[in-house]
Amino acid sequence: MPPPAKVPRTSTKHHLGNSPISYHPSSTSGWADHDSPRIRKTSKAGFRPIGEPSSAVKLFFPRDEDDDEAGPAAPQHKFPASPNIHSEVPAKRTRDEGAADRAEDMRGSILSQPLPSQQVPGPREPITKTPPAPQPMQVLPSVSHAMEPDAEGTPRPSSPSGTTCKDLYAIVSQVGEGTFGKVYKARNVVTNVHVALKRIRMEAEKDGFPVTAMREIKLLQSLRHQNVVRLYEMMVSNGSVYMVFEYMDHDLTGVLSQTQFSFSEANLKSLCSQMLAGLAYLHRKGVIHRDIKGSNILINNRGELKLADFGLARFYQKRRRSDYTNRVITLWYRPPELLFGATVYGPEVDMWSAGCIMLELFTKKPVFQGNDEIHQLDVIYRILGTPSTERWQGLTVLPWYELVKPKDVIHGHFRDLFSRWLSPAALDLAERLLAYDPTQRVTALEALEAPYFKEEQPPPELPVDLSTLEGEWHELETKRERAKKRRKLENGLV
């Protein structure tokens, strides 16, 4: 039975152990709803360079003593300063997210700092909605105009202020497309360094700057890790804002679809380890990604893996669970507690997604391919078996349990299905990542200490042979190839 079409506006508290779970309406569509609310901006919004994260950004993240609880700190590197956006804006949010989630976005926002007085409209001055006259794209000022190495020693672009887009970047190709715009591969014509330009659509001036993009900028300012994608700088053009990222040659969805190159056991272990290392860093920093999937896991030709797309990421408090929306994480990677309506959760939702990715690395395709939320649960049952109160103590008190509980008892055959691809130690880790009970699901730090990485041979080895691939492989190309095959099949049947 599907979730109800209408639910009461007031939330009803349920309990999973000692954690309250609030009931909120969720989409019945098969995919996570990525349409986020937007915030209205003031006219003449300004830009300023940033160096180290500001005190406002620090408020967004847990205190140092919180970090110490989650394990040893990641290696610290010094990075060049990057530009940043700031503007005085009122926040506008939807009702489907909890109060703690709303408070999180308001606290420590980089957009909360006022502009210089001459740029802020007076108390009675109306804010015009008329878009400005077209102007060439401008690069926001950087601290230095010279080439600056990043943590891995690779030169990164640092653009002089006032440079136009035509002078600075040459678009090579489109490599992706998301909710708020397209992603392009571009070449810096001065330094010949390739970057990824993520275009944020801003044509609808009345809606202002997207909250999703604001969150991503806010997070990436403060995140510095070898397994998290780097944001170099921001660019603004008429009607659009561009985020300039380090360029990664492939994403996981694309590279798993190609047939030129096969990963070794050591390569797969390295990719899995790098993914978990990135998640361990995020969770230590108090961040839940909430959209781990193949197209958001990037890989370069050196075999380095980096997590990307932080538009759905959220801050979480390690000592107190917060109330969030369950309309997150693409369906095939969505954990069962969200499918049962849970809205109080933490980093364990990322770990279920990581378990899905681990299986996908070996099988070369997503394992749990449901058509909608009810079918998604059924697909999970047929592999892992139906959950019981012995396996999942808080199951029966989840908000939608009575609506979507399994009708029949299905016995799982997980190890029988995947033993042809995964070793016994790998199967053990995958089972711990895909535990039904979120409280029993392994953390990223614990997963990195598993026998699969520490004891089983071979040791992890970077897939450096990716440099031999012809072309670059992204989800966009994979979708296009599937569409071509589908059209050929349809034409052949006619």
CA separation for the pair 65, 319 (Å, rounded): 12
> CB under 8 Å to 263, separation ≥6 — which residues?
271, 361, 463
- Exposure of 350 in the CB half-sphere (CA atoms within 13 A): 30
Tell me 186's DSSP state.
E
Strand partners, 236: 138, 241
Tell me 336's DSSP state.
H
User: Is position 291 annotated as part of the catalytic site?
Assistant: yes
CA separation for the pair 73, 220 (Å, rounded): 18
Identify the residue whose tokens are 């502009």. 115
Largest CA distance in the chain: 70
Q: Residue 108, by phi and psi: left (phi above 0), alpha (psi -120 to 50) or beta?
A: left
Q: Looking at 105, 249, 291, 437, which residue is catalytic?
A: 291
Q: How many residues does the chain have?
A: 494
CA separation for the pair 183, 175 (Å, rounded): 6
Alpha helices in 264-324 (DSSP H): 265-284
In one-letter notation, the amino acid at residue 304 is E
Active-site amino acid positions: 291
